[in-house]
Structure 1
Amino acid sequence: MKKIINKLLVNHSLIYKLFLYIVTVVLVVYLFPKGGQFKYEFQKGKPWQYENYYAPFDFAIKKSKEEIDKEKAQIKKTSKQFYAYNEEIVSNVKKTIFTSVNSVLANSKLSEVDKNNLIQKVQSIVNKIYEYGYLEDTNNIIDENLDIALRKGNTIQNIKFNKLFKSSQISGFLNSKIGIQPYTEEENEILNILYQELKPNVIFDESFTNKMLQDNLSKISYTKGLVSEKERIIFKGDIVEGEKLAILNSIKSEFESQVWSKSNYNWIVFGYTILVALAFLMLLLFLKKYRVEIFDNNNKVTFIFFNIILIVLLITLIVKYDAKYIYVAPIVILPLVLKAFFDARLGLFSHVLTVLLLGFIVPNSFEFIFLQIIAGIVTILTISELHKRANLFISVLQITFVYFVAYFAFSIIQEGNAQNLNWEKFIYFALNGGATLFVLPLIYIFEKMFGLVSDESLKELSDTNSKLLRQLAEKAPGTFQHSLQVANLAEASANEINANSVLVRTGALYHDIGKMDNPMYFTENQSTNVNPHNELTPKDSAHIIINHVIKGVELAKKNHIPDRIIDFIRTHHGTSLVYYFYKKEEELNGGEVDSTYFQYPGPIPFSKETAILMMCDAVEAASRSLKEPTAQMLDNLVEKIVSKQLEDGQFMNADITFKELQTIKKVLKKKLKNIYHLRIDYPE
């Protein structure tokens, strides 16, 4: 049992990767659509490349979306509008008007004949206005000659819209019917009564109109024929267009709408599992062969798998809602994020695998895969400096433009012309570009979630105007200048051996921040001949020197500097000795000294970048002690320091080769000669 536990502990990293691999495969397969798949690929306007195809079962020919939309538009155009006629308003208006008119005429000196004539005119006016009704003001725009349905109680009467009275017509109608101008006193009073008391009694019945419209729309047939089992659909070599295209789209839809039956469910899941497992296995093999550092870091592997699952989940949700919006999803964020944290090659490789997996989910998979792979390549090639917003914005415009061009090309191939372009997709591509700009806050979120540091954050940290570096420049100006020189040497060395130059430069700028605590105890900050170490014992002096590493780590953590940078502070002296004070202690004691008091706590460098910093730091510091440096002296200095570090085993964990060490030494020699403006002495 103990052996088993020990084996598990030793191989815990591999076991975790296996667990992550299985969980990811299961989750992705679970997200795949639970429907059948049509096994043939076809495109409009292209020849049918397979054998003669016969219907495997009876199915209906479905109308295209354009045909259905056209029918709906026609129904909406011809659908009648319903108006409600209110009898109660008419009754109340008539009662009020005739009561008021009779009251006016009762006190009038007109003859009975004239009074009766006026009453008959009023009756005629009111009856005419309310014959079909007086329409309430509405924003509903309608053709005056269009037929409408007027609902009176339980009866519906079809009339022309222009038969309804509108408020704009009332004034002219009353003036023309009440009498001949100039009006008499009685006519004016009656006219005022009519103006005040006439009220609209017809309103637009929006709810009933919409109900009838929906009833008509619900009667639309979504099919236009039937194909019988074993009926020929298409011959090999026939062009996929017209009726053949409609039939093929219909049977494809039938296959995709079929829910997996119990008999074939397990086999289909098994097939999906193999394909998905192969895709993720390729990713793991790529990491193991070409990105060993990432493969060995479970946190980074988890981060990569998490991002792929996130993209698959996003596309799955969009397809379930409405597949036409799949191009709104900013899939190119995946290679962007992976490039920001790792490198372009890994970003593109992961993007291609993810897009291939998405081909099982989306409709028109060939078009989708082609567009997304092209967009991913453009993303990797164009975006270089994410932290510069202008660069990101320009790159996103380029990616969107490539989407436009690629989709345009696909459309004219399929349609044979540019007249039937789906302009909505261009809007979706534009939205995709806008969503891609969200990559900057997303990178920040991932940094906090997974404890990773992107190259963009490193560039921000390497800004010498940052708070901590400004403090270093003010409190320890000599150390700051030393750090700048070390950063330049380290960056040049990293570039030569293809290490992460941004990371090593940033680490170099922060590696000595602990010297801010006691700056005058370090020679580069001593502007006078007074040396405070003269009043201390060698052990105390060594303690102060060694302590700058511990103080640096504490200060970095306090200022929320990422662990990747703190690693440079911890390792830049490894487990080497504070040699000057060690030798001084030997002289004082006249014999051997316990080296523990004079040894840095470590750890030793564990990457190419931390090893580069150790070499550059030691070489730059030692070169300052040369009073009249020559080219030969600098060459010997570099050889001596690097050889001593190698002999002391400081590079045992750094995964750096002898060839790379030789390259770094050449860079250091050349750069130091440039710093001291030295030339090689040629023989006379």
Structure 2
Amino acid sequence: MNKFNITDNHYWQNVFSRMALIVISVVIMVWFMPRATGPQYRYDIGKPWMYSSLIAKFDFPIYKTDEAVKKEQDSIRKIFEPYYNYDTEVEKRITARFLNDFKAGIPGLQGNYTAIIADRLHRLYQTGIMKTQDFSEIVKDSSNMVRVVNGKNASSVQIGCFYSMIGAYEKLFQDEKLAPHKQILQRCNLNEYIEPNLIYDRERSETELNDLLGSVPLASGMVLTGQKIIDRGEIVDEYTFRVLSSFERETQRRNSTVNTITSTIVGQVIFVTIIIVLFTLYLGLYRKDYFDKPRSIAMLYVLITIFPILVSLMIENNIMNVYVLPFAIVPIFIRVFMDSRTAFVSHTIMILLCAAVVRYQYEFILVQLTAGIVAIYSLRELSQRAQLFRTVLLITLSGCAVYCALQLMQDKSFDDMDNSLYKYIIVNGVLLLFAYPLMLVIEKMFGFTSNVTLIELSNTSKDLLRALSEVAPGTFQHSIMVSNLAAEIANKIGAKAQLVRTGALYHDIGKMKEPAFFTENQVGVNPLNNLPREEAAQIVISHVTEGLKLAEKYNLPKTIKDFITTHHGNGKTKFFYISYKNEHPDEPINEALFTYPGSNPFTREQAILMMADTIEAASRSLPEYTPESISALVNKLIDQQVAEGFFEYCPITFHDIAIAKQVLIERLKAIYHTRISYPELKKN
């Protein structure tokens, strides 16, 4: 009863957790989706109207294009007259300071040059002096006018009538009375007595300019209720394009009410929920091994959720073009860590969710689906960087080719094609190259192990494997043999060959603790013969726990640790167990002392390793190597493993086991075949 209660609780816990995952995914995606209201049509200048006749349901203005409004505003800015305040106090203050500084006359000059210079300064200030920076900005066109405010009066004056500070200083020395004494006067630092008396009135100028810019009408013309806008098959010209854009804009403005926005959200929730539920059903029905693993399902939902969010943010904030996003990175990751079918379904689901946000769904879906399919087909197994470069190149070329084909299907010639999208597709390809470093992030975040990592781990020059070859050379050679056998079996039955190869290399690393107690490392003497059976069994069993300790120390992935745990399952050390029973037939036995602490295999790769490990070790004890003896050994041991239930919770079939037997028999026959004795040369 308790067992059934625990099972039921686990079942309902899984159900509620998956439902929560669906709800969270739907809420997050709908939250970021833009709230576009009203009908959305697809139309372009020079193309026929593909929908039914469109009649105006209300009066609305025909809005000008942004370019037209900007052009009118630029014209206003060009003729606008900024305001400058004429400050009379500047001349009084500067003239008084000059007369006080040179009341004794100009050094080196005879005559009343002080009065002459004061008069010339008066003329300059009466004309008007600006800051050099302000003058330079508006003097480019000498016909530009400014509004000079003197008291309560404001008058328009050409900019050419004023001086900049530098121009006023130069004008001073152009005077016929002062020019002959320029060198003497330059030592008087007369530039210190030239300051701007035309001060820019920023607040008044900006207020006036904004009023003028605001007076630019945003619309030109009206469409009345009942007026036909366009009929099916009519060509969309520039005027009709503006009318259609104005109609959509006004429709969205009128529909931006609480009720309309609510209905939009409801529609988005229904659509996203249907798509996510279909994806969840696929996992539950056809990929239950992923569906039951929290890390696997978390990665899948994160990957199909993040891109619709990015697309929504880009469209809502008008950031670049959605085609720059590397959508194909999702099927790449799922193909590398899972399988092709799940990669295709996940990519399709993600593209459909993104298409609910973009405007040109047909074009977007075709381009991105093609890119995803090419990614899946071209990257069956990632083991080298060059494979990713080739995949990215194929994805980019296929995206460009599909987009070009779609335009040709719309009766466009090569000269009339829109080439703006190609640069975004190329940027997309460049961003796809980041899949390689991001793969490490996915591995660490969700606990997966890619083939790239497995290949790196299987390098026998790595620290742990090199230490194994030095400390326990017999165990190392045994591991190499097992890895080759297991990889060949995996290739034959369609399992993950690289995974089982790497797992086989590490499955016996625990024997490094006491290598001399294991037969493959012994030379003649077996120290276990002098120990009690229980103690000897514990030493042999300890290589599993010691192996896990080393795996933790060297940060090996969980998938590799699972091979260490399961390669003996929860079986017994039969030699010591049977020997102890024979020696103590009437005594009760503590079977835990002779039982390995691991769990039975739960993947096909782990089952393959158990079979290959057992057969390779046992084959060394055969008295003679004949096809009959090898076949008998393989069939006996593997049938015994099946009978003892080692593969009960493992998704391996009898057909797979039969193929494994055949591979092991053929390989062992090739390894242990009898060589022909060479004859000796007879002596005369």
The question of a shared fold, defined as TM-score above 0.5 by the shorter chain, is answered with: yes
- Is the contact between residue 601 and residue 607 of structure 2 (CA under 8 Å) also seen in structure 1? yes
Aligned pairs for 1:588-599 (under 5 A) are 588-589=583-584, 594=589, 597-599=593-595
CA apart distance, 1:447: 3.9
**TM-score when scaled to structure 2?**
0.84
Count of aligned residue pairs for this structure pair: 671
- Is the contact between residue 149 and residue 156 of structure 1 (CA under 8 Å) also seen in structure 2? no
Of the three residues 245, 248, 261, the one matched with 1:252 is 248
CA apart distance, 1:386: 6.4
Q: In 1, Cα distance between the equivalents of 2:255 and 2:493?
A: 55
SS in structure 1 of the partner of residue 174 of structure 2: helix
Of the three residues 373, 379, 396, the one matched with 1:377 is 373
Q: In 2, Cα distance between the equivalents of 1:518 and 1:271?
A: 67
Cα deviation, 1:635-660, whole Å, max 9, x if unaligned, reads 44333332221222211111111111
- Is the contact between residue 138 and residue 144 of structure 2 (CA under 8 Å) also seen in structure 1? no
Q: Which residue pairs with 1:573 in the alignment? A: 568
Alignment of 1:300 with 2:301, yes or no, is no
Name the aligned partner's letter for residue 47 of structure 2.
Answer: K
- Is the contact between residue 44 and residue 245 of structure 1 (CA under 8 Å) also seen in structure 2? yes
Q: Which residue pairs with 1:284 in the alignment? A: 280
Q: Which residue pairs with 1:147 in the alignment? A: 144
- Is the contact between residue 476 and residue 515 of structure 1 (CA under 8 Å) also seen in structure 2? yes
Q: Which residue pairs with 1:64 in the alignment? A: 65
SS in structure 2 of the partner of residue 230 of structure 1: coil
Name the aligned partner's letter for residue 513 of structure 1.
Answer: I
SS in structure 2 of the partner of residue 103 of structure 1: coil
Cα deviation, 1:552-574, whole Å, max 9, x if unaligned, reads 22332343333322221111112
- Is the contact between residue 37 and residue 261 of structure 2 (CA under 8 Å) also seen in structure 1? no
- Is the contact between residue 24 and residue 309 of structure 1 (CA under 8 Å) also seen in structure 2? yes
**TM-score when scaled to structure 1?**
0.84
Of the three residues 546, 549, 572, the one matched with 2:544 is 549
CA apart distance, 1:131: 0.6
CA apart distance, 1:341: 2.6
Q: Which residue pairs with 1:482 in the alignment? A: 478
- Is the contact between residue 382 and residue 452 of structure 2 (CA under 8 Å) also seen in structure 1? yes
Farther off after superposition, 364-373 or 258-267: 258-267
Q: Which residue pairs with 1:539 in the alignment? A: 534
Alignment of 1:340 with 2:336, yes or no, is yes
Farther off after superposition, 488-497 or 564-573: 488-497
CA apart distance, 1:612: 0.9
Name the aligned partner's letter for residue 175 of structure 2.
Answer: K
Q: In 2, Cα distance between the equivalents of 1:397 and 1:59?
A: 49
Q: In 2, Cα distance between the equivalents of 1:466 and 1:221?
A: 74
Query: Unmatched 5+ residue regions in structure 1?
Result: none
Q: In 2, Cα distance between the equivalents of 1:85 and 1:588?
A: 120
Aligned pairs for 1:408-419 (under 5 A) are none
SS in structure 2 of the partner of residue 104 of structure 1: coil
Q: Which residue pairs with 1:104 in the alignment? A: 105
Q: In 2, Cα distance between the equivalents of 1:569 and 1:674?
A: 28
Q: Which residue pairs with 1:177 in the alignment? A: 175
Aligned pairs for 1:160-309 (under 5 A) are 160-166=158-164, 169-170=167-168, 172-179=170-177, 182-183=180-181, 188-189=184-185, 192=188, 194-202=190-198, 212-257=208-253, 259=255, 271-309=267-305
CA apart distance, 1:614: 0.7
Q: Which residue pairs with 1:662 in the alignment? A: 658
- Is the contact between residue 510 and residue 543 of structure 2 (CA under 8 Å) also seen in structure 1? yes
- Is the contact between residue 35 and residue 257 of structure 1 (CA under 8 Å) also seen in structure 2? no
CA apart distance, 1:532: 1.4
Q: In 2, Cα distance between the equivalents of 1:62 and 1:536?
A: 97
Q: In 1, Cα distance between the equivalents of 2:212 and 2:399?
A: 39
Alignment of 1:353 with 2:354, yes or no, is no
- Is the contact between residue 35 and residue 255 of structure 1 (CA under 8 Å) also seen in structure 2? no
CA apart distance, 1:201: 4.2
SS in structure 1 of the partner of residue 105 of structure 2: helix
Farther off after superposition, 322-331 or 641-650: 322-331
- Is the contact between residue 544 and residue 598 of structure 2 (CA under 8 Å) also seen in structure 1? no
Name the aligned partner's letter for residue 94 of structure 1.
Answer: T
Q: In 1, Cα distance between the equivalents of 2:319 and 2:179?
A: 70
Change (3 A) 1:4 1:629: closer
Of the three residues 599, 603, 609, the one matched with 1:607 is 603
SS in structure 2 of the partner of residue 322 of structure 1: coil
- Is the contact between residue 411 and residue 418 of structure 1 (CA under 8 Å) also seen in structure 2? no
- Is the contact between residue 585 and residue 593 of structure 1 (CA under 8 Å) also seen in structure 2? no
CA apart distance, 1:239: 2.2
Q: In 2, Cα distance between the equivalents of 1:400 and 1:211?
A: 51
CA apart distance, 1:356: 1.0
- Is the contact between residue 335 and residue 380 of structure 1 (CA under 8 Å) also seen in structure 2? yes
Cα deviation, 1:164-206, whole Å, max 9, x if unaligned, reads 334554565333314387549xx93488353443334456666
Q: In 2, Cα distance between the equivalents of 1:588 and 1:295?
A: 50
Q: What is the percent sequence identity of the aligned residues?
A: 33
CA apart distance, 1:365: 3.0
Name the aligned partner's letter for residue 140 of structure 2.
Answer: D
Name the aligned partner's letter for residue 127 of structure 1.
Answer: R
- Is the contact between residue 367 and residue 410 of structure 1 (CA under 8 Å) also seen in structure 2? yes
Farther off after superposition, 411-420 or 574-583: 411-420
CA apart distance, 1:677: 6.7
Q: Which residue pairs with 2:642 in the alignment? A: 646
SS in structure 1 of the partner of residue 570 of structure 2: coil
